[in-house]
Amino acid sequence: MSRAVKQPVGQKRLTNIAVVRYKTHGTRFEIACYKNKVFDWRQGSETDLDEVLQTDTVFLNVSKGVVAKEKDLKKAFGKEKSRSLEEVCKEILAKGELQVSDRERALQLDSRLRDVASIIVEKCVDRNTKRPFPHALVERALKDPRIRFIPDNRKSAKQQMLEVVPKLQKHDVLSIERAKMRIQLTLTSPEMKRKVLQHMKEDVHLAEACVMEREHEDDGSGSSVETYTYTCVLAINPGAFRSIDALVRGRGGANGNFDAKDGKSHSNNDVGGDANANATSRGEGKESRLEILDLAVHEDASQAEDEAGARRRREDNERSSTSRSDSSSAGVVTEAMRCVTINTQEGVSEGEGAAEKKKKEDLAGFRFKCNTCQIGFNEQKLHREHFKSDWHRINLKRKSQKLPIVSQEECEAILLMESTEASDLNDYM
């Protein structure tokens, strides 16, 4: 007989277990589930209950193996005979609290923090540059002690985003604001246009939240059927969208509807919204539309980079011209050194780029090179001795400080000046 047989023989060992607890009618019930399956079941990705439950038995205490009594189950979940243990387990899964370890809870909270940060990156921009923040910067801001943001798995990530953004603005952790939405408003009568625009100007909240980007008015005089169409594109704060939507619906009466670019139609009742959407798709021509063109308007990155690049090139040109004038007057900076200096910056001129290219071609003829000092050697011994020299040491230090390198003659002058200052100091002391 094998020594591995345990007593009692019918013992069932529960491994990789997650306990879901549900307290009702003064009694706490527990079921044994697989750890990763409970979340899948609640999200709807898992529909097979056998893949979620380790056993369909309802316990009072899973760790001790205490099974719930039938009278307690009837008292808590009803006396209907048709209600099976499977339905009871489904109710406990839906309403119960999942017991997780500290490590799993920390992973869940960290995941929720990243979700909130991702929504902030998507929905918010820098107040000054109008561009989105880096994801890592937002995560650090959420962990700031002044914010005291604690992720909550019971709330959605968007709801927590709406709560934490005012705190970031209040404590000035980030110069953050909500990104504007871009919408297109189409009105089909001059009277409706007059009423809607007049109301938007009179309402202080809407007047501050809306920025007119462009507008177009077509009275239909050139067509066979006279149809009036007024179209305007607005950049609005997201909080003003409901007010504008309600304004279009209220002013337009039954003819107004909301047709989003993503194919979703919203209305006060679903039937009316679907009917209006169908009428718009048939093109009967009397409906006003409020279309979402962009949920979050960000500054064009390429345009901003072009502007920044042009600004850097102007500064570099001014700096290079100043450097050339100083060199001609003092006679210290050589033409080769100026080419190396400007090569470390962006936007070098064409003549200086040719000089740098020629210098690289001259270095290509040597077997051993020092890219820091821009010098070449044919013998390995001289190459090694150069790395131990004061010239190489000084240029390494200047390169780390983003300063231009110096030639060997200039290096000797610097060393002579340092030694002279040191001797004068010793004489003084």
List helix spans (H) across 23-143: 35-43, 70-77, 85-95, 102-123, 135-142
Q: Is the pLDDT of residue 347 over 70?
A: no
* Beta strands 176-178; 181-187: pairing state: unpaired
At 290, phi and psi to the nearest 5?
A: -125, 105
Q: Which range, 213-222, 385-394, 413-422, is most confident?
A: 385-394
Whole-number average pLDDT of the chain: 75
pLDDT interval class at 406 (50, 70, 90): confident
- The closest alpha carbon to 374, from 402, 400, 399, belongs to 399
Rounded to an integer, what distance in angstroms lies between the CA atom of residue 120 and that of residue 144?
15
Q: Is 210 helix (H, G, I), strand (E, B) or coil?
A: strand
Query: What local confidence, expressed as pLDDT, does residue 137 receive?
Result: 92
pLDDT attached to residue 80: 62
Tokens of 271: 């039937």
**How much is the pLDDT for 218?**
83
Instruction: Answer yes or no: is pLDDT of 303 > 80.
Output: no
**Cα-flanking dihedrals φ and ψ of residue 106, to 5°?**
-65, -40
**Residue in this structure with the two tokens 């064409």, named with its chain if needed:** 350
Least confident range from 192-196, 211-215, 244-248, 304-308: namely 304-308
Burial of 118 by CB count in 10 Å (0-12 exposed, 13-18 middle, 19+ buried)?
A: middle
State the pLDDT at residue 81: 59
| Sign of the four-CA dihedral 158, 160, 161, 162 | positive
| Positive or negative torsion for Cα 10, 14, 20, 26 | positive
Instruction: Give mean pLDDT, residues 81-110.
Output: 82
How many degrees, rounded to 5, is the angle at CA 295 between CA 289 and CA 301? 130
Q: Could you say which architecture CATH assigns to the domain 18-99?
A: 2-Layer Sandwich (3.30)
Contact 293, 262 (CB under 8 A): no
Residues 349-372 as b/e (b if ≥16 CB within 10 A, e otherwise) read eeebeebbeeeeeeeeeeeebbee
Cite the residue boundaries of each domain of the chain with CATH code 1.10.10.900.
Answer: 102-178
Superfamily of domain covering 181-254+285-295: ACT domain (3.30.70.260)
Question: For residue 304, how many C-alpha atoms fall within 13 Å in the half-sphere facing its CB?
Answer: 9
> 369-386: per-residue pLDDT in tens?
888 888 888 888 888 888
What's residue 252's pLDDT? Answer: 40
Q: Is residue 62 over pLDDT 60? A: yes
Q: What is the CATH number of domain 102-178?
A: 1.10.10.900
β-pair partners for 27: 24
The residue type found at 21 is: R
Distance of CA 5 to the CA centre of its chain: 56
Residues of the chain with CATH 3.30.70.260: 181-254+285-295
Structure-token pair, residue 386: 């150069």
Query: Is the pLDDT confidence value at 341 over 80?
Result: no
The answer to which of 127-131, 206-210, 241-245, 346-350 has the lowest mean pLDDT is 346-350
**pLDDT value at residue 1:** 43
| 24-54 per-position pLDDT tens digit | 888 999 999 987 788 788 878 888 998 999 8
The SS3 call for residue 103 is helix
Higher pLDDT, 190 or 268: 190
Partner residues linked to 375 by β-bridges: 370
Domain with CATH 3.30.1250.10 in the chain: 18-99
In terms of Cβ atoms closer than 10 Å to its own Cβ (0-12, 13-18, 19+), residue 318 is: exposed
Choice between 310 and 36, residue whose per-residue pLDDT is larger? 36
290 with 258: CB under 8 angstroms? yes
Q: How far is CA 44 from CA 41, 49, 138, 155, 272, in A?
A: 5, 11, 31, 18, 30
Q: Per-residue confidence at 6, pLDDT binned at 50, 70, 90?
A: low
Q: What is the pLDDT of residues 115-150, one digit of tens each?
A: 999 999 999 999 888 888 999 999 999 999 888 888
Q: Cα 40–42–45 angle (5° rounding)? A: 40
Under the banding of pLDDT at 50, 70 and 90, the label for residue 236 is: confident
Flag whether pLDDT at 257 surpasses 70.
no
